[in-house]
Amino acid sequence: MLALFLVTYLVLMNAMTVKSFEMKKLEGRAVELRRQAARLEAELARRESIANVAERVSALGMVPVERVDYVTIGGAVVAYR
């Protein structure tokens, strides 16, 4: 009876130890993912900034539209410059 108790105890302790290592590993991964998410959010904010968008628009050769006229043809609306 004591041997069965000891074997059960060892099995349970082993399972708890394995789960503890898995939990530590997952906690580390969660910290890593939170850091990565923060870096990506900062990068997104930088890329979406007005200054960056204006620079990209200029690099693509886009110019502001001065006047837009709308034409309705058969229920469809079309814009042209």
Q: Nearest 5°: CA angle at 10, between 6 and 13? A: 135
Say how far apart CA 68 and CA 64 lie, in whole Å: 11
Exposure of 59 in the CB half-sphere (CA atoms within 13 A): 6
Alpha-carbon Rg for the chain in angstroms: 31
pLDDT score, position 59: 93
Domain total in the chain: 1
Read off the pTM: 0.55
Domain of 17, in residue numbers: 2-80
Q: Is the pLDDT of residue 57 over 80?
A: yes
Q: Is the pLDDT of residue 81 over 60?
A: no
pLDDT score, position 44: 95
- The whole-number average pLDDT for the span 40-67 is 92
